[in-house]
A = this chain, B = another copy of it.
Amino acid sequence: MSTVQDYIDKNIETFQGQLFELLRIPSVSTDSSRKSDVQKAAGFLSTQLKEIGLDKVTVHETPGHPIITAEKIVNENRPTVLIYGHYDVQPPDPEELWDTPPFEPTIKNGRVYARGASDDKGQSFTHIKSVESYLQTGTELPVNVKFILEGEEEIGSPNLVPFIKENKDLLSCDMVLISDTAMFGEDQPSITYGLRGLAYMEVHVQGPNRDLHSGVYGGAVNNPANVLADIISKLKDEDGVIQIDGFYDDVEPLTPEMREAYSKLPHDEEAYKKDLDLKEVFGEKGYSTLERASARPTLDVNGLWSGYQKEGAKTVLPAKASAKISMRLVPDQHPDKIAKLFEKQVLSLAPDSVTVNVEAHHGGHPVVIDLDYYGLKAAAQAFEDVYEKEALYSREGGSIPIVADFQKILGVNSILMGFGLTKDALHSPNESFSLKDFHRGIKTSARFLELLPEYS
């Protein structure tokens, strides 16, 4: 094994350089003007997969952005690991808050700053380099390896599920390996065994057919921005409890065992507040910060817009007001059911003086994996061997809808081997990724592939 690990140590700077090349490609999947950049990122990765020696490297065109698959089958009797990652990134907005250009990777204090550094280019690249380290040193892979890399994760993976359904044989495996989550803390490896689901909605309130002079019409014509504020306000009460009829019906309550496990996870509330410059945290009454952030459902405004937003004063009564609102879900909430409940509630709150329209964006199912699963145990041991520290088991508040899809379509669990940190600032300006964790990530991946047969 030292051959593989030595290769990683020796080539880490080359690996970094390759990652930076990938980070320079602004593969923003939600921005249609970036379509060719997303293609370019796909081209870069398929070339990588070929160069490291994988078989059947294929770029599958879809109605949206391409899906890349590749594989190396060494022995039909060994476990097969399907490695999933995404090469698309969130938009860099607001770009003016970046200290360095979002698509020019910059190293500072051992971290690389760039959009996608952690989510998910940096993290998913670890596995490509880990597999390379077997193939390029002539070391036999301990397991069969398959890759599936998509370019639409940040827009809800609209084409991935149909692809998986149509390519069950190509993708057949014993488990999925995903690095798209965070470790519990710095130098504190952890395995994520639970994820929240998502229902992402958009609400449009239309008042008059045109922007009006607020002096001439104000007071007599309902203001869609005021109405939107009313609607949003009524979706939660003062204790942070969501006020959508039926919203909590399918929520699995936290067991006393789960709550005890949560209470054992290290958490410094003062440091948490200080990091965010907050006087106080706020969330659903009766739950701790960690529980609120991962084991309880939420409702958050993600975007809000209406009327005049520039400098100075414009006395307009806006014709329209809109909001993007998403809900994080926990087992056994169903995103489609929640989307319908949301729409029903919002429409019930709409007065006759405006027209309200509710639109559903993508959704995702929540997931919790059994703590006794052998893949989880092998992953924990791999972390321990590389990080020289026991791995913890935690749940994440974010959503990786594909985890539920893999379970449903391929019937397999996903191992969430996160190398990120919460301070990576995913989806925010100045996203970054620790280069040390990039390095240890590659080594942990290689060690995991080595340990897996022993645990199966």
Contact B219–A397 (Cβ < 8 Å): yes
| Distance A284 CA – B223 CA, assembled complex (angstroms) | 13
A263 at the interface (CB under 8 A from B): no
| Distance A299 CA – B293 CA, assembled complex (angstroms) | 36
Residues of chain B contacted by A214 (CB below 8 angstroms): 298, 300, 302, 326, 328
Residues of chain B contacted by A328 (CB below 8 angstroms): 214-215, 218-219
| Distance A209 CA – B277 CA, assembled complex (angstroms) | 6
Shortest 10 CB-CB contacts between residues of A and residues of B: A215-B398, A225-B301, A233-B233, A229-B232, A222-B282, A282-B353, A30-B312, A219-B298, A209-B277, A220-B293
A440 at the interface (CB under 8 A from B): no
Given contacts A308-B93, A310-B91, contact A300 B223 (CB under 8 A): yes
**Contact segment of A38-46, A317-325, A406-414:** A317-325
**Contact segment of A11-19, A370-378, A423-431:** A423-431
Contact with B along A291-323 (1 / 0, CB 8 A): 011101111111111111111111111100111
| Distance A230 CA – B353 CA, assembled complex (angstroms) | 20
Residues of chain B contacted by A323 (CB below 8 angstroms): 225
> Which of B219, B229, B302, B355 is in CB contact (< 8 Å) with A301?
B229
Contact B427–A311 (Cβ < 8 Å): no
Residues of chain B contacted by A280 (CB below 8 angstroms): 222, 351-353
| Distance A302 CA – B217 CA, assembled complex (angstroms) | 12
| Distance A282 CA – B224 CA, assembled complex (angstroms) | 11
Contact A30–B198 (Cβ < 8 Å): no
Given contacts A352-B279, A427-B213, contact A307 B314 (CB under 8 A): no
Residues of chain B contacted by A444 (CB below 8 angstroms): none
- Which of A31, A220, A298, A312: most chain B CB closer than 10 A? A220
A73 at the interface (CB under 8 A from B): no
Given contacts A313-B324, A428-B210, contact A223 B301 (CB under 8 A): yes
- Which of A226, A279, A318: most chain B CB closer than 10 A? A226
> Which of B154, B316, B326 is in CB contact (< 8 Å) with A427?
B316
A362 at the interface (CB under 8 A from B): yes
Residues of chain B contacted by A289 (CB below 8 angstroms): 220
> Which of B156, B209, B217, B355 is in CB contact (< 8 Å) with A293?
B217
A107 at the interface (CB under 8 A from B): no
A90 at the interface (CB under 8 A from B): yes
A101 at the interface (CB under 8 A from B): no
> Which of B30, B156, B233, B304 is in CB contact (< 8 Å) with A321?
B304
A283 at the interface (CB under 8 A from B): yes
> Which of B223, B284, B294, B428 is in CB contact (< 8 Å) with A316?
B428
Given contacts A277-B208, A328-B215, A352-B279, contact A307 B303 (CB under 8 A): yes
Q: How far is the CB of A208 from chain B (nearest CB, A)?
A: 4
Contact A307–B301 (Cβ < 8 Å): yes
| Distance A352 CA – B280 CA, assembled complex (angstroms) | 6
A151 at the interface (CB under 8 A from B): no
Q: How far is the CB of A247 from chain B (nearest CB, A)?
A: 13
Contact with B along A12-28 (1 / 0, CB 8 A): 00000000000000000
| Distance A308 CA – B310 CA, assembled complex (angstroms) | 16
Residues of chain B contacted by A279 (CB below 8 angstroms): 352-353, 355
| Distance A353 CA – B208 CA, assembled complex (angstroms) | 35
Q: How far is the CB of A453 from chain B (nearest CB, A)?
A: 34
| Distance A187 CA – B443 CA, assembled complex (angstroms) | 86
Contact with B along A74-87 (1 / 0, CB 8 A): 00000000000000
